[in-house]
Amino acid sequence: MKTLFALLAILPALTVFAGNDNVSKNKKENSMKPIELTKESFVKLVYNYEASPNVWKYEGDKPCIIDFYATWCGPCKMLAPSLEKISEEYDGKLIVYKVDVDKNPELAGMFGIRSVPTLLWIPLNGTPSLSQGALPKNQLDELVKSTLLKTK
């Protein structure tokens, strides 16, 4: 009986250690997935439109794609796996962000987003551009190479 109580006593500690290993694995796995933006993170990572509303100044150090989407949108759901693949394939070369237009109407309004999905393509230098609709993976690849990485 004492052995059973001893095992039960150390079980939570073992679970904590096992959980830490899973946390580090999840951080590695999630590092390549699109990153959800809020207004606060957008201002910090992409464009501080409050500080300089009339002059575009990208805050990032890698080109990025911002997916303006809605959770109820069918085409948005179709586009999501392709954007995850783009994020994985170009890990370290570009960043893929997501903005839920229902949770962040101010960000959507700032860029005149009226339909979803809409992608905002932001090169490291230069002017951002928009594309609308659920583009197929091969078109996303072409746009990444020609618009963001300038390899074509």
Delimit the domains of the chain by residue range: 1-30, 35-148
Active-site residue set? 73, 76
Task: Quote the pTM value.
Answer: 0.78
Fold classified for 35-148? Glutaredoxin (3.40.30)
Q: Per-residue pLDDT tens for 121-146? A: 999 988 999 999 999 999 999 999 99
- Which structure tokens are listed for 16? 């904590």
Cα distance between residue 128 and residue 125, in whole Å? 9
Q: What is the SS3 assignment for 15?
A: helix
Taking only the tens place, the pLDDT of each residue in 65-79 is 999 999 999 999 999
Write down the residue that tokens 């072409």 correspond to.
142
